[in-house]
């Protein structure tokens, strides 16, 4: 008789195709950033504009005598979290104390994607700092700040602990409860923001006193403390007529607060913000932001870029080797190199899309190797979501991008919106003749390869040539 536990999971014979496919399916998880030192990591620097996060962001942190406040951006799913974790490990090896945290994920974290304000980010930094440094640093400045507002916190039902019981074991769970309420309870969220808004100056003062204590007490001998706040690029943009967007309010209007902590800060920011009317203001405030582009698998003329394809192939191969020793990418997993090339070209160099498509192909396969038919069907499954993201009035914009390989800074932000939805992808390469980094854009291959795009493109091209 099959027990309850056994009935919940399908058990496959070891080394069977079904067992291997299950292992491969889990090796290509699209939403799991790679940890530093993971053997599956591939350095795409050469096919991403020849920029490296360790130099672009890390170099400033290590060389600058004053605190730095920097922005990091790119399309969602491009690999930013993996790169930021790599940066954190590198800085720690240089003796820095690094507080890395994902401020929000799909099901956890401190922030609400749909409603985030600067007070929420400050509270999140407070909790993460205290949690990271609790065993080494005098936390009394933060303790006293909470202590002075204890009755208000009790009124909000955020604590039932008496004032004389407060200590580090109480403070950290309390801050976790506060940030959880900010994320999940809209009514309490507003009240907590009012509390922080009225006491922002004192909270910043308490945090900086705590940070200064840390710099004096930490045993590393390095007084560089770095906070890396990941996933802030997931904050949804809210627009109101004749007003700044919520993103501009956070990163520009409240930039004094975002730059108020006495340590180095790295914030992720939405790519749509970095290409908005606020771009020059952001650069004045935070310095030149680094943007992680797509892996270049085709050039501007539509010709395949072998180096980019080979790097993506290596990423697939390493995930296979890590999961199933002795299994080759071709012909054991995929039947032919043409299948691998199709996967690389169809994702447009977007890593998360590549992982999704591969998992879908694996799910459609009952025995190895995976055939071209399964991959084509998997690609077709992901195409409708991108087509649905294109509004009727946006088709001509896509055609102009595809034709010219450029993106305009339009007043209405239509191109930025398409960029934010990944209907338009950004690529970069270093032109050695011009000695400059070239940025160019194209429509996502899942849209370009669709019948609606081909039919509309034929009409657009004909009208353009006749005009």
Read off the pLDDT of residues 419-451 as tens digits, 9 standing for 90 and up.
Answer: 889 999 999 998 888 778 899 999 999 999 999
**pLDDT at position 80 over 60:** yes
Task: Pick the closest to residue 123 from 89, 153, 90 (CA basis).
Answer: 153
Task: Pick the closest to residue 411 from 269, 225, 276 (CA basis).
Answer: 276
pTM to 2 decimal places? 0.90
Helix, strand, coil percentages for the chain (3-state, nearest 5):
55, 10, 35
Give buried/exposed letters for 349-373 (b at 16+ CB in 10 A, else e): bbbbbbbbbbbbbbeebeebbbbee
**pLDDT at position 379 over 60:** yes
Read off the pLDDT of residues 226-275 as tens digits, 9 standing for 90 and up.
Answer: 999 999 999 888 888 778 888 999 999 999 999 999 999 999 999 889 98
Instruction: Please check whether residue 45 is in contact with residue 52, taking contact to mean a CB–CB distance below 8 angstroms.
Output: yes
Rounded to an integer, what distance in angstroms lies between the CA atom of residue 394 and that of residue 376? 27
User: What would the mean pLDDT of 341-346 be, rounded to a whole number?
Assistant: 98
- As given in the structure block, the two tokens for residue 273 are 């913000």
- As given in the structure block, the two tokens for residue 268 are 């992720």
Task: Pick the closest to residue 289 from 438, 79, 102, 68 (CA basis).
Answer: 68
Q: What is the pLDDT of residue 7?
A: 40
- As given in the structure block, the two tokens for residue 416 are 């930025």
Instruction: Please check whether residue 68 is in contact with residue 91, taking contact to mean a CB–CB distance below 8 angstroms.
Output: no
User: Which CA distances in Å does 306 have to 133, 297, 312, 314, 437?
Assistant: 46, 7, 10, 12, 20
Q: What is the pLDDT of residue 221?
A: 56
Task: Please tell me the total number of residues recorded for the chain in this structure.
Answer: 467
CB-CB neighbours of 334 under 10 Å? 27
């Amino acid at each position: 008789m099959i027990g309850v536990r056994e009935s919940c999971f399908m058990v496959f014979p070891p080394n069977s195709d079904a067992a291997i496919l299950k292992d491969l399916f889990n090796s290509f998880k699209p939403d799991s950033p790679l940890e530093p030192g993971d053997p599956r990591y591939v350095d795409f620097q050469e096919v991403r504009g020849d920029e490296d996060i360790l130099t672009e962001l890390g170099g400033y942190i290590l060389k600058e005598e004053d605190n730095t406040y920097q922005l990091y951006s790119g399309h969602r799913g491009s690999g930013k979290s993996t790169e930021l974790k790599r940066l954190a490990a590198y800085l720690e090896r240089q003796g820095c104390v690094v507080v890395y945290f994902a401020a929000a994920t799909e099901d956890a974290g401190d922030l609400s994607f749909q409603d985030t304000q600067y007070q929420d980010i400050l509270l999140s930094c407070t909790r993460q700092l205290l949690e990271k440094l609790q065993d080494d640093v005098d936390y009394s400045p933060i303790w006293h700040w909470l202590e002075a507002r204890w009755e208000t916190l009790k009124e909000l039902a955020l604590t039932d602990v008496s004032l004389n019981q407060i200590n580090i074991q109480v403070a950290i769970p309390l801050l976790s409860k506060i940030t959880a309420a900010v994320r999940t309870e809209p009514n309490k969220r507003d009240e907590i923001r009012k509390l922080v808004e009225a006491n922002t100056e004192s909270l910043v003062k308490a945090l900086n006193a705590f940070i200064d204590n840390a710099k004096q007490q930490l045993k590393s001998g390095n007084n560089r403390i770095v906070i890396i706040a990941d996933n802030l690029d997931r904050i949804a943009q809210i627009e109101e007529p004749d007003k700044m967007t919520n993103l501009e309010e956070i990163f520009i209007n409240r930039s004094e607060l975002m730059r108020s902590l006495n340590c180095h800060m790295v914030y992720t920011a939405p790519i749509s913000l970095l290409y908005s009317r606020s771009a020059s203001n952001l650069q004045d405030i935070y310095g030149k932001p680094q943007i992680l582009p797509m892996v270049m698998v085709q050039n501007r003329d539509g010709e395949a870029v072998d180096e980019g394809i080979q790097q993506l192939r290596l990423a697939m191969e390493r995930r296979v080797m890590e999961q199933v020793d002795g299994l080759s990418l071709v012909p054991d997993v995929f039947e032919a190199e043409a299948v691998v090339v199709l996967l690389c070209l169809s994702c447009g160099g977007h890593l998360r899309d590549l992982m999704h498509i591969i998992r879908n192909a694996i799910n459609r396969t009952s025995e190895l190797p995976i055939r071209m038919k399964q991959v084509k069907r998997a690609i077709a499954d992901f195409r409708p979501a991108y087509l649905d993201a294109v509004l009727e009035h946006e088709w001509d914009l896509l055609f102009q991008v595809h034709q010219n390989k450029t993106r305009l800074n339009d007043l209405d932000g239509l191109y930025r919106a398409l960029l934010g939805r990944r209907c338009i992808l950004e690529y970069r390469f270093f032109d050695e003749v011009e000695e400059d980094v070239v940025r160019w854009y194209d429509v996502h291959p899942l849209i370009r390869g669709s019948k609606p795009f081909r039919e509309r493109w034929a009409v657009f091209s004909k009208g353009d040539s006749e005009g």
